[in-house]
Every structure is written in C-alpha cells, then in structure tokens.
Structure 1
Amino acid sequence: MTQSKGYSRLQIILHWVVAVLIVLQFVLHEGMAEAYDIATETGIYAFSAPVIGHIAGGAVILLLACWRLILRHDRGAPPPPEGEPEIFRKAGHLAHLTLYALLIGLPITGALAWGGRMEAAGEAHELLKNLMILLVLAHIGAVIVHQRVWKTGILKRMMRAQD
C-alpha cells in the first residue's frame, strides 16, 4: 500500500456515503429485528420496507467497503497527523482495521442469518452490530479529541480532497 498526502475526492465521498448508510441501518434495525424474530419463531421470512431497506443497505455497504479497500490499496492513505500520541496511532490503526472487518462481516452475517436462515449468524450479527456502535462512537470521539485537544485538524482530511 502506498502512502498519499491526503484522501481523494472519491475516497471522501465513499466514506460519507458509508457513514450515512450505517446510520440508516441503525434506523431500520428495529423493523428488521422484529421481522427476524417472527421468522425464527414461525419460519416465515416476510419482506417489508424496513427489511428490504436493511438488506439493500447492507449489500451496498459491503460493496462500498470493498471498493474503499481497493482504493486504499491503490491510492494509499495519508500518514497519521503530527501531534497524535503513538499509543493512539496504534489504537486508531486497529480501530480502522476493525471497522473495515465489520463493514464486511456485518452484511455477511446478516445475509447468512436471513437468507441462509442460520440462527448462529444472527447472534453473531447482533454482537458485531454492538461492536460497530462502540467503534463508531469511538471514531467520533477520536475526531473530537483530534480537533479540540490535539488540534491536528484531522477533520479537514475527510472534507477536502487531495487529488
């Protein structure tokens, strides 16, 4: 993987589209969870607007996450900002790896739970969802610390392209 000066316009757009889709997944979660509970009790997997939206959103997130990984491999990512303590650099790297794993793992476990009718996958999906919530909150918290405490201006990297 190469290292770039900043993120490209496409990398930034994909980041924010995935962020919005993740929020929508949480909004649609309750309808999906209710449908899944009914399906596991009755064996009837009924499609409703929240179910279709959740499934479609997961599929799009999976595709966009793969695209993001390809772009990151081809174009690289900028180095961590100056002023970030080393322990937080390492934690940030691990958090980003975990976020990508979740962006891929959640749609797969969701598909196996719903389409494959695998209850264990549903349980894994729920566990991964909770981990995603924690990591998203940590991600937002890290941006706030970067902006307010370390004053690294990191938010600019996801707002302004370096094509």
Structure 2
Amino acid sequence: MAALCYPKPEVIMPAPQGYSRLHIVLHWLVAVLLIPQFLLNDAVGEAFDAGLEGEQITASILAPLHVATGITILVLVLWRIALRFKNGVPAAPANEPAIQKLIASATHLGLYLVLILTVAAGAVAWFGGVEDAGDLHGALTTVLLVLIGLHVVGALYQQFVAKTNIIDRMRTARL
C-alpha cells in the first residue's frame, strides 16, 4: 500500500528558503498594476455601458489602457504560477498554526484564481460585448478586493503580531 502513496513534495524538491528576484518583481508589478485597474474601473464601466447602448465610447485612452493592463496582469500572474510550479515556494513559518497555513494557502489560491477569472470575464465582456460577463467582472473585482485585503492583513499580522518577519520574503531575493 505504501508504494501507491506519492512522496511529499519536499522529498522531490526541497522548499526554497526565499523567493527568487523574478518572483518578487512579478509580485510587486502585479500589485502596482492593480491600483490603476481599480481607479479606472468606473470610467471603463461607463465606456462599456455606452458601447452596449451603441453610443460613442468617451473614455478615450482609459478604456484601452484598462484592457491592456488587465491582459498584462494575466500574463504576469500566469508567469508567477509557472514559477511556483517550477521553483516551489518557501515553507510557511514553522510555528504557524495549521488554520493560519490553510487560510494563507486558500488566500493565495483564491488570489490567483480570481485574478485569472476577472481578466477572462473582462475580456469576454469587452471584446464580446457580453453584459453578463461584465457583471461577473464587477463581482469578481469585489471578491479580489476582499482577497487582497485578507492577504495584506495576514502579512501584517505575521510581520508585526506573530513576528515571523514574513514580509522580508517578498522584499529580499534568495541567493
């Protein structure tokens, strides 16, 4: 029966001690690119609604910029996922309770999934003129904000309450 069990991932490849420079750059680039996405959201929504009603889109460069940035975010997120599979990720702090590890893992998985789905829904809405996809895009944006908030609060909790120095993992590349 033991032969049917798969080895633990750390047996195949030990967890890295920190993130690579590329992983850190991709993380912060996505974070920075998300800021204008949220700020431009209303203008793009108005442009989308105008387009659906056959009116001229008045958001000038804002709508195409939002779309291009969304596609860029998708590419960067997929790249980060590929890096996670290729290089692994640092282990959670050893003294972290199991429930916190579960919440952190679920939050990271949720962030990746919602980022991908948000861009996909936005693309279907914008390029396909599908109003329901636009509604889904808006709902996913709200979910994304909640997940980002949870991610930031979790990192700050780890850093300043649990004192695990976890934020340094996303500031300093491993050697």
For the superposition of Structure 1 and Structure 2, which TM-score range results when normalised by the shorter chain?
over 0.9
Match status 1:21 vs 2:33: yes
- Aligned mate of 1:128, from 129, 134, 140: 140
Match status 1:55 vs 2:81: no
Shift of 1:148: 1.4
8 Å Cα contact 1:82/1:152 also seen in 2? no
Where do 5+ consecutive residues of structure 2 fail to align? 1-8
**What does residue 151 of structure 2 align with?**
139
Shift of 1:40: 2.1
TM-aligned CA distance change 1:52 to 1:102, over 3 Å: same
**What does residue 117 of structure 2 align with?**
105
**Quick one: percent identity of the two aligned structures?**
39
Shift of 1:46: 6.0
Looking at structure 2, the residues matched to 57 and 34 of structure 1 have their Cα atoms a distance apart, in angstroms, of 18
**Match runs of 1:22-37 below 5 Å:** 22-37=34-49
Give the letter for the 1:138 counterpart. Answer: L
Cα root mean square deviation, aligned: 1.5
8 Å Cα contact 1:28/1:50 also seen in 2? yes
Match status 1:114 vs 2:126: yes
Give the letter for the 2:40 counterpart. Answer: L
Identify the structure with bigger relative contact order (alpha carbons < 8 Å, sequence gap 6+).
1
8 Å Cα contact 1:39/1:46 also seen in 2? no
TM-score, length of structure 2 as denominator length: 0.88
Match status 1:78 vs 2:103: no
Secondary structure, aligned partner of 1:56: helix
Where do 5+ consecutive residues of structure 1 fail to align? none
